[in-house]
Amino acid sequence: MAMVTFATKQDPWTTDDTMGTASSHLRVAGQKGGLWATIEAILKEKIRPLFTKQRNPKITSEGRKNFHPVPLARFDGSVLDDSTRPWKNTAIYTTSVLSWIISQYTATDKMHLESHFPLLVPAILSLIDDSNISFKAQGCQLLTQLLKSIRESGSDILIRTNLISVFEEAITPCLLSLPTITPEADSLKILRVAYPVLIDLLEAAYKTPSLRTPQSQIKKDKESFNTSLAKILRSNLISSFNHISSSSSISGSNASFPHPLLSTFLMTRICAVLNKLGIETTKYLQDIIPVLQMTLSNPFGTSDPALLSVAVSTTRAVILNAHPRIWKWRGELLAALCACWLHVSEESKDKEKGKALVGVSKQLRITVSLLKCTLQNPAAVSNGALDADQVYAKEHMDAELKELVDADPQLEQLLGPAVTL
């Protein structure tokens, strides 16, 4: 226990010397054998007692989902009593010990992982459910480690224990830690671990089929995965992005982004989810494209090139993943890209500002080239035939682009010859 406490460099009390000494002792102890017996003893005798005063009604003592939980009192005074949570004050080494233990499971340690799983779950859930952002983040990091071990070992322990929904219900409230109630720095701290661990949870639950899994179940799991991803996209990512932004019109012409770092992070996660959804992205274009319009059309967007760059990348992800339906939204996309180009061109007249926007300009040209390529190569619909509207968009594309260039010659560089992708 003492050596493990000093084996993590991220802990503020650990120095290079203490970590070197601890790692050396742990290496020698591991070579002597009895590692798993020691780990089990630590979990049962040292870690579990720290969390017994704070029982989670959603799980049983065997580490399974409790289908008939006894609801807690509407207001429980123990919530404000840290004496029931010794891991927050006296046993502050707890998370370091748990992190080290979870790091010991390899792809061949499935049996040990599953036997220790009921001992790990209550501790991780207690950390995630805590009111303190730092402990929430540590709980999410531990769960990320555990899910990685579960996937590598090919275990279906999450399915057998029915704990997927329990973990989801614990993580989802973390996604509501947004300004102005939560400071931007704290919000980023928790969201940077909460969103990835929620995706990891879904992948561990629905995208780790065994050789014996029937095709019908694989298909059902894929549908469940996509449904859960879509819920995260619409109910959390997009709604959170809109919440921390301010706009007085649907078009987003008066939009502002008072929390640029957080807006950039959320846009990055939106892009990642779209790439995982693939063709399913087409179902949610009516939710995604207004967000892109609001961001790209922002007249003050050039003050934050990072957010603009991510928004352009997300636009490319939309075009690539939802290409069969892009023709229907070409007007909105072109309007947003052209507005962004004009703002960037105006700011680029200042040499200092222009340097930071060079990358955005190139990305805009690449994105427009991709959009033009998509419109020129419509996707076949039912029976292999082309939709009449797609054909119309293809045949009139050049005329529509020329109309835009005639309206503002500055768009010639953007809408003119294609660039190398």
| 63 vs 99: which has the higher pLDDT | 99
pLDDT of residue 398: 92
Percent of the chain with pLDDT over 70: 92
- pLDDT tier, 402 (very low <50, low <70, confident <90, very high otherwise): very high
Nearest of 10, 125, 178 to residue 117 by alpha carbon: 125
| pLDDT greater than 50 at residue 248 | no
pLDDT at position 211 over 80: no
The answer to whether residue 137 scores a pLDDT higher than 90 is: yes
- CB distance 305 to 359 below 8 Å: yes
Q: Is residue 255 pLDDT above 50, yes or no? A: yes
pLDDT number for residue 254: 59
Q: How far apart (Å, rounded) are the C-alpha atoms in residues 293 and 308?
A: 11
Bridge partner residues of 59 (DSSP): 65
- Quote the pLDDT of residue 216: 84
State the average pLDDT over residues 73-94.
Answer: 76
At 73, the pLDDT band (50, 70, 90 cuts) reads low
Distance CA 105, CA 112 (A): 8
* Mean pLDDT value of segment 179-183: 92
My answer on whether omega of the bond before 18 falls inside 30° of 0, hence cis, is: no
User: Where residue 348 falls among pLDDT bands split at 50, 70, 90?
Assistant: confident
Confidence of residue 251 (pLDDT cuts 50, 70, 90): very low
Burial (CB count within 10 angstroms: exposed 0-12, middle 13-18, buried 19+), residue 47: buried
What does the pLDDT look like over 13-67, one tens digit per residue? 899 999 999 989 988 887 777 889 999 999 999 999 999 877 787 888 777 888 7
Cα–Cα distance, 301 to 299 (Å, whole number): 6
Confidence of residue 374 (pLDDT cuts 50, 70, 90): very high
pLDDT range class, residue 97, cuts 50, 70, 90: very high
Domain ranges of the chain: 233-421
Per-residue pLDDT for 202 more than 90? yes
